[in-house]
Amino acid sequence: MVLPTQLPAAPEGTPSNTVALPRTNQLAGLLTIIRDAKTNRGDFIFYSDRIIRLLVEEGLNHLPVVEKTVNTPTGLEYNGVGFEGKICGISIMRAGEAMEAGLRECCRAVRIGKILIQRDEETHQAKLFYAKLPDDIAQRYCLLLDPMLATGGSAIKAIEVLLDHGVPQSRIVFLNLVASPEGLEAMYKAYPEVKVVTAWIDESLNEQKYIVPGLGDFGDRYFTSN
């Protein structure tokens, strides 16, 4: 028997811009809970939030630092690093809003922009409705938030909006819970310099363009289900 934790986090062929969290027993266990169709909304929120926190911490690792020396209480110097550059979060509504609190837990008072993109239920095409972003977004590192990457259409559209506002690809880090190989490939083809940090890469998409095995509709399960 091969446990999920014994498989590589990023299967062979995963695009080079993608980083997957290590498949630890903790992560596999948390994902098993949120994938379970019997998990109620309270638990879905609680365990999703734990994974989101891991993702945010990993995402922050992909932002630049500079050398920094401090004096410790022992009277000695410590040669460490300090965070460099301003950041902001951008959530792809609705499901991406579930990731805002996790970002705020790590980055107090972080600015957050919103992009409302919805997938058409029949054509599965992503449609942009609205974007409200910080005025100085072009000078910031952008953590783009969406828990699900299926066809990649929504994330690609959101990146288009950021580029239109002057943000270079190299300053965008996309944080995501579950990705399909198809979505990752589409993202890489469109924007190879955007870094993707995902918790888990699933097998594929079904005919309805849902990720499989997946976890269903993240937005419904987090915000409106029983």
On whether the CB atoms of residues 103 and 82 are closer than 8 A, the answer is: no
Among 148, 196, 197, 201, binds ligand PRP (CB under 6 A): 148
Q: Where are the beta strands (DSSP E) in 94-180?
A: 111-119, 126-132, 141-145, 148-149, 172-179
Of the pair 10, 211, the CB lying nearest ligand PRP is at: 211
Across-strand partners of 128? 117
CB 179 within 8 A of CB 202: yes
Contact 185, 204 (CB under 8 A): no
Q: Among residues 56, 134, 146, 184, which is the contact residue for ligand PRP, using CB under 6 A?
A: 146
- Assess whether 119 carries a catalytic annotation: yes
Residues forming contacts to ligand URA in the complex (CB under 6 A) are: 95, 148, 150, 210-211, 214, 217-219
Residue 141 has a CB neighbour count (10 Å cut-off) of 20
Q: Which C-beta is closer to ligand URA: that of 141 or that of 174?
A: 174
Q: How far is the CB of 121 from ligand PRP (least distance, A)?
A: 8
> Is 186 within 8 Å of 156 (Cβ atoms)?
yes
Site for ligand PRP in 170-199 (CB under 6 A): 183
Complex with ligand PRP: residue 94 or 171, whichever CB lies closer:
94
Site for ligand PRP, rule CB under 6 A: 92, 94-95, 118-119, 124, 126, 146-154, 183, 209, 217-219
